[in-house]
Amino acid sequence: MAVAQDAQPTTRAQSAQATLNGKTIDLAKGWQGADVCEVTAGATTCWDRETAGTRAQKNEFALKYKCNKGWVCLYDEKKLKGRMLRFNDGGWNNLGKFGFNNKMSSLWNRQSGWGSRAWFSTKSSGRGTQWYYDPGKVTTMSKNYDDKANSVYP
């Protein structure tokens, strides 16, 4: 992990609107029962354990809760536990829009290849102190970085 100070990158325009069980929710106002949310270039979709009633639904939820190859997965508890917010799109994403500001306690960077570092910042839009984790990195945040991320560049 390396740290850079006070960069001024641009941010992707991203809505806090997400789909959960066919309904639109505003993640900035709370996850409303969601356990996993996935952010792609086109949409944000969430799932919850509560409505996974059938075996097929439970299997689908288990697949969504995994951190699949190509994704950066953030968790609000240590040791890859708790709610998960995952990204596979480029550009700075402000975590407050997803109700995840200052909540990341562990992460898994499942990206691979050149340029696949997962960057984080203490302020929105990549401003403030920045740090990154290389591809393949699984970590629980040290006390210096636990609950400190305000934006992510996957």
pLDDT tens digits, residue range 7-40? 444 444 445 799 998 899 999 999 999 999 999 8
Would you say residue 87 has pLDDT above 70? yes
Which domains are seen in the chain, by residue range?
Answer: 3-153 (2.60.20.10)
Would you say residue 64 has pLDDT above 90? no
- pLDDT value for 150: 95
Residue 134 CA to residue 114 CA, distance in Å, equals 10
pLDDT tens digits, residue range 98-150? 999 999 999 999 999 888 999 999 999 999 999 999 999 999 999 889 999 99
Q: What is the DSSP letter of 96?
A: G
